[in-house]
Copies of this chain bind each other. A is one copy, B any other.
Amino acid sequence: MNNTHSTHKNQPLLLLIDLQKAIDHPDWGERNNLDAEENIATLLAHWRNNDLPIIHIKHTSVEPDSHYRPHQEGHDFKAVAQPETHEEVIEKHTNSAFINTPLEQILRARNIEDVVIIGVITNNSVEATARMSGNLGFNTTVVSDATFTFGKKDYSGKWHDAQQIHDISLSNMAGEYAQIMSTKELLSSMD
């Protein structure tokens, strides 16, 4: 291809979802996977050291009460996921990173087949993006310990804790849309 953005075929792309300071706001309540940041840092370092493709998704909310609204600190990237100058950042305004963004077009242009998804939150933007990634035909992996979520009440008022919501979200994706791997399993498979 005569495309300056093209990379070698079959290079897995690391897609970081919504890793902004907003997610550290105490409003969210108790989260699971407290070591997610450590795993995110490990994966990002591996991708950078091996010169593999990376795209950062930045959520810019249009909801006036969202911690992800622009022009305030919550919109900034978390330190652990701060993009380097040459790394691509794609802004999104809804949950899935594929809706109203150039993400699919960029992946196709670069011959990306394998997409590795990390970030937040498991059952919302991560799951929405992973479901679309799988359905669009990308070989999609979600890293189980490099994403996290929060407990919440369901519509009938029953409480579900963060780990339970996380586990069911990963089970929704597993097999149908994505493969689920830990950071350690993923890195071993790439050796």
- Which residues from chain A sit less than 8 Å from chain B, CB to CB? 94-96, 99, 123-124, 127-128, 131-132, 134-136, 144, 152-156, 158, 160, 164-165, 167-172, 174, 176-177, 180
Contacts and interface: CB of A to CB of B under 8 A. Distances in A.
A165 B167 contact: no
Given A144-B155, A154-B170, 7 more contacts: A94-B135, A95-B131, A128-B177, A154-B171, A160-B167, A160-B171, A168-B168
Contacts of A165: 168
B167 A158 contact: yes
Contacts of A128: 131, 135, 177
A169 B173 CA distance: 12
